[in-house]
Amino acid sequence: MKHLKLITIGAVLLGSTTISAQAQVVQMIMCGGEIREADQKVISQFEADNPGVTVNAEAVPWGTCQDKSLTLAAAGDPPGLAYMGSRTLKQMADNDLILPVDIPADQQAVYQPGVLATVSNGGKFWGFPHAFSTKGLYMNCDLIEAAGQSCDAPATWDDLYNLAKAVVDNTDAAGIGLAAKDFDNTQHQFLNYLYSNGGKVLDPDTGEVLLNSPETVETLEFYGKLAEVSQEGPTAWERDQLKDLFNDGQIAMYINGPWGRGQHKESINQKVVPVPAGPHGKSGTILITDSIAVFKGSGTEDLAMELARRLSSGEAQYDLDKSWGLTPIMQYEKIGIENPYYKDDPFWQVFVDGIATGGPEPLVTDFKSTQSVFTNMVQGIILKEDTAENLVAIAAEELEDIK
């Protein structure tokens, strides 16, 4: 591996910048319940470079960590920095809880397309992207072949439905897993289909709500159609639980990120392919990042900003992506890494190719309310409570109020 050439924000060589400080504690909240080895390596080097500085990195489960960070900041006792979903950034920025961050042009140029859109608002960046995911369709080839079908990638929504129906008609399994529980990834799963049909949620420049469109109506109608060939009661299931159904041979297909491969039983003859294209789009995916935000009022802002830069730059970021099995957040060839882990690998190509036609998780002032808007819309079509046209129109109106 060559040394990095282009990124020059102080994190290329972990010992390149030392901030004069004594007996200071930098509080850091890490969503996810663990401190990953790649991050801990950076933190330890940062402490070594800054005698007297201690980083108190607290790992908090996803279910409570974002609320914890927001609550502490609103109460005037913020952490120095926090690793959390980028969906929270606009809300925190609008409430003057976090600092804008500087990402130099040379580093901006090496991010994958669409990544910076997940952390930008009002012409500023509000977090350093630190984890990136795209999605693909996992297929259980043994189940599909038991249904008398070839385990080939469905290119279109019609192909996907027909393949799932064949599984339902000819085996004891469901054709596809659908997420429709009151949980954040119900929105995420729906957006994989919407972005694959050329739909949009918000105008990236103006923030105008674009959800009420023929593409969204068409996508919601298809989601309702898929419920006919999915597992029983999709409103009780979230994406991570679909993994268990896939492992137990109860569903033939479902959408998940690259980490899914390692979570599936070795005995499953699995294949991962792009999300099928809708009638008005190309195969796409939701582009989700988690990022590192630097809080105002901690008293350790400079230290926190420098640590955030180091964690999210160069070889440190590459080590995290590779060891965690994430979609590469940067085009690492551009920074001197000659043979990145995803190069010439058909598995990784699925997750990289969808980036160009994917779309971001919407940045809004109230991310929880936005998730509820999508959940209500999706549950409405699955439970046949209203027409797709009406459900989409209602969702767009509600989104208008909270964008």
Q: What is the rounded CA–CA span in Å between residue 173 and residue 292? A: 41
Task: Please check whether the two domains, 24-133+288-359 and 136-284+364-402, share a CATH topology.
Answer: yes
Sheet holding 136-140, edge to edge: 253-256, 136-140, 270-273
pLDDT value of position 22:
59
- Residue 327 carries which DSSP code? P
Cβ–Cβ < 8 Å for 222, 192: no
Q: What is the pLDDT of residue 133?
A: 96
> How is residue 204 written in tokens?
């990236």
CATH architecture for the domain at 136-284+364-402: 3-Layer(aba) Sandwich (3.40)
Average pLDDT over residues 155-178: 98
Question: What would the mean pLDDT of 175-192 be, rounded to a whole number?
Answer: 96
- Tell me: the pLDDT tens digits for 65-85? 999 999 999 999 999 999 999
**Which residue's entry shows tokens 């180091």?**
310
Percentage, residues of the chain above pLDDT 70: 95
Single pTM value for the model: 0.90
Whether the Cβ atoms of residue 86 and residue 56 lie closer than 8 Å to each other: no
Summarize pLDDT for 133-142 with one digit per residue, the tens.
999 999 999 9
The answer to whether residues 342 and 271 touch, using CB atoms and an 8 Å cutoff, is: no
Q: Which residue has the tokens 């989601």?
A: 223
Nearest alpha-carbon partner for 403 in 114, 184, 202, 215 = 202
Given a cut of 90, whether residue 1 has pLDDT beyond it is: no
Say what angle helices 214-226 and 367-382 make with each other, to 10 degrees.
Answer: 60
Q: Which residues pair with 256 in a beta bridge?
A: 136
Q: Are 279 and 215 in contact (CB under 8 A)?
A: no
Dump pLDDT digits (tens) for 214-261: 999 999 999 999 999 999 999 999 999 999 999 999 999 999 999 999
Cβ contact 139:258 at 8 Å:
no
Closest CA to 291 of 116, 133, 134, 129: 129
Residues 6+ apart with CB under 8 A from 224: 381, 382, 384, 388
252 DSSP 8-state letter = S
Beta carbons within 8 Å of 158's beta carbon, 6+ residues apart: none
Task: State the pLDDT at residue 403.
Answer: 79
Residues 292-297, mean pLDDT to the nearest whole number:
98
Average pLDDT, integer, range 295-324: 97
Whole-angstrom Cα distance, residue 399 to residue 397?
A: 5
User: Nearest Cα to 245, choosing from 259, 227, 218, 263?
Assistant: 263
Write the pLDDT tens digit of every residue in 270-282.
999 999 999 999 9
**Whole-number percent of the chain with pLDDT over 90:** 89
Arithmetic mean of pLDDT over the chain: 93
Nearest residue to 195 via CA among 351, 400, 359, 16: 359
What whole-number distance in Å separates Cα of residue 207 and Cα of residue 204?
6
Domain spans, the chain: 24-133+288-359, 136-284+364-402
User: What confidence tier does 153 reach under pLDDT thresholds 50, 70, 90?
Assistant: very high
Q: Using the predicted structure, report yes or no on whether residue 55 has a pLDDT greater than 90.
A: yes
User: What's the pLDDT score for residue 207?
Assistant: 87
Supply the pLDDT for residue 352: 95
Rounded alpha-carbon distances, angstroms, from residue 136 to 180, 257, 274, 352: 18, 6, 5, 10
Which residues lie below 8 Å from residue 229, measured CB to CB, with a gap of 6+? 161, 164, 165, 167, 168, 174, 175, 176
Whether the pLDDT of residue 9 is over 70: the answer is: no
Q: What is the CATH number of domain 24-133+288-359?
A: 3.40.190.10
Angle of CA points 82, 86, 92, to nearest 5°: 70
What pLDDT does 63 receive? 84
Q: Backbone dihedral region of 248: left (phi > 0), alpha (psi from -120 to 50 degrees) or beta?
A: alpha
Q: What is the DSSP string of 154-169?
A: --BHHHHHHHHHHHHH
Q: What is the pLDDT of residues 249-272, one digit of tens each?
A: 999 999 999 999 999 999 999 999
Q: Average of pLDDT values for 305-312?
A: 98
pLDDT digits (tens, 9 = 90+) for 327-385: 999 999 999 999 999 999 999 999 999 999 999 998 899 999 999 999 999 999 999 99
End-to-end C-alpha distance for the chain, whole angstroms: 44
Statement: residue 170 has pLDDT above 70: yes
Query: Between β-strands 136-140 and 253-256, what pairing exists: parallel, antiparallel or unpaired?
Result: antiparallel
